[in-house]
């Protein structure tokens, strides 16, 4: 049986929960997860759409907001912010006891802004101010347009979860945005860099789903290898990026590394292990955000050994073999980014439409 506290103590990997609902906040289940060793929480538009549409837990607040003249869109954000604030408060003791390493709760800007730098930055600033919690992370998609907004948020001393990363190359750009933002912040001699946190959310299982389909055969030797290989390459790049004189100058001011966060780690192929994307990516200064079912499976029979960087040469051989098999991972990442953005936008539009209908 896996032990989340031992995982952190032995390997410095934090398990975060990829789910949030008002029921979890009210019935004590989130507190129970924290007692199990969960060290943070992530949300996204799809998670909130399911929470709001899948229960009547929000009806009283929603009806009151509508009666007071609030629009359905604004009512949505009122409800989201309330849940995020409550989750931040639940994790606040861990945030304090971990010296701001963990205890973070992530909330995403409106997905229709993903191709707008200025709009993303303005929305991220507003959402950060509105939640008004030390341990909130604002999620910003890692689009080309999002990168300057990410850098600006960091330069302002705000914590950011950079989401929807599908390639090591984009991950490199995300790390550069983080470090450049810290360098801007460090120009203020009074700035406390130790209280600026960021994770780079590298999506995993969706890569295998797409690559396996392109391989054309479910029994191809390379099925189920692309996602882990890309994650491990990203981790190696992370180790290189956060070393050397440039980083050491920031670390001397208290700066923390931007941890790789393994996202989309629920196994989608039923023939693969239900803890594949947890077991194979364990290593220091990383986060794995998992859905409830994957968390339960990992607690039951997950691994407790370092795996993320055990054989870099094997990782590179796998990536080379994928290329030789005709898999264009750049094209895969471009497609998955488009699909990820579209999925979140569709979830957001769906819940807003449902709220408009409910409001009459």
Residues annotated as catalytic (active site), given as ranges:
139
Helix locations, 168-225, DSSP H: 168-186, 205-215
The strand pairing partners of 260, in sequence order, are 200
| Angle of helix 146-155 versus helix 168-186 axis, rounded to 10 | 30
CB 160 within 8 A of CB 140: yes
Which residues touch 358 (CB under 8 Å, ≥6 apart)?
Answer: 62, 72
Q: What's the Cα-to-Cα distance from 22 to each of 25, 36, 41, 80, rounded to whole Å?
A: 5, 19, 14, 9
DSSP 111: G
> CB count, 10 Å around CB of 67?
9
CB 179 within 8 A of CB 151: no
Q: What's the Cα-to-Cα distance from 100 to each of 4, 51, 180, 278, rounded to whole Å?
A: 18, 28, 21, 23
Beta strands in 1-90 (DSSP E): 13-18, 40-42
CB 212 within 8 A of CB 270: no
User: In Å, how far from its chain's centre is CA 30?
Assistant: 18
């Amino acid at each position: 049986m896996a032990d989340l506290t031992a995982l952190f103590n032995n390997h410095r990997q934090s398990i975060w929960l990829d789910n949030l609902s008002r029921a979890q906040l009210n019935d004590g289940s989130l507190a129970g997860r924290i007692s199990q060793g969960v060290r943070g929480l992530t949300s996204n538009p799809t998670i909130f759409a399911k929470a709001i549409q899948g229960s009547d837990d929000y009806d009283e607040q929603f009806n009151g907001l509508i009666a007071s003249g609030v629009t359905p869109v604004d009512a949505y954000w009122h409800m989201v912010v309330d849940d995020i604030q409550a989750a931040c408060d639940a994790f606040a003791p861990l945030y304090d006891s971990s010296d701001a390493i963990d205890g973070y709760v992530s909330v995403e800007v409106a997905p229709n802004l993903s191709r707008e730098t200025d709009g993303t930055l303005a929305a991220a600033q507003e959402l950060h101010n509105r939640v008004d919690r030390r341990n909130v992370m604002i999620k910003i998609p890692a689009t080309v347009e999002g990168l300057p907004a990410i850098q600006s948020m960091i330069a302002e001393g705000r914590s950011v979860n950079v989401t929807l990363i599908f390639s090591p190359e984009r991950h490199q750009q995300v790390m550069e945005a983080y470090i450049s933002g810290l360098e801007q912040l460090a120009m203020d001699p009074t700035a406390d860099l130790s209280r600026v946190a960021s994770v780079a959310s590298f999506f995993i299982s969706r890569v295998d789903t797409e690559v396996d389909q392109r391989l054309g055969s479910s029994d191809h030797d390379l099925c189920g290898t692309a996602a882990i290989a890309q994650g491990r390459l990203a981790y190696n790049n992370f180790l290189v990026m956060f070393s050397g004189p440039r980083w050491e100058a920031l670390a001397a001011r208290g700066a923390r590394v931007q941890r790789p966060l393994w996202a989309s780690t629920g196994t989608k192929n039923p023939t693969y292990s239900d803890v594949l994307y947890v077991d194979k990516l364990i290593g220091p200064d990383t986060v794995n955000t998992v859905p409830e079912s994957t968390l339960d499976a990992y607690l039951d029979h997950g691994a407790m050994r370092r795996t993320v960087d055990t054989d870099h040469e094997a990782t590179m051989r796998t990536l080379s073999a994928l290329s030789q098999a005709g898999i264009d991972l750049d094209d895969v990442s471009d497609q998955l980014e488009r699909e990820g953005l579209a999925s979140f936008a569709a979830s957001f539009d769906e819940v807003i439409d449902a709220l408009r209908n409910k409001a009459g």
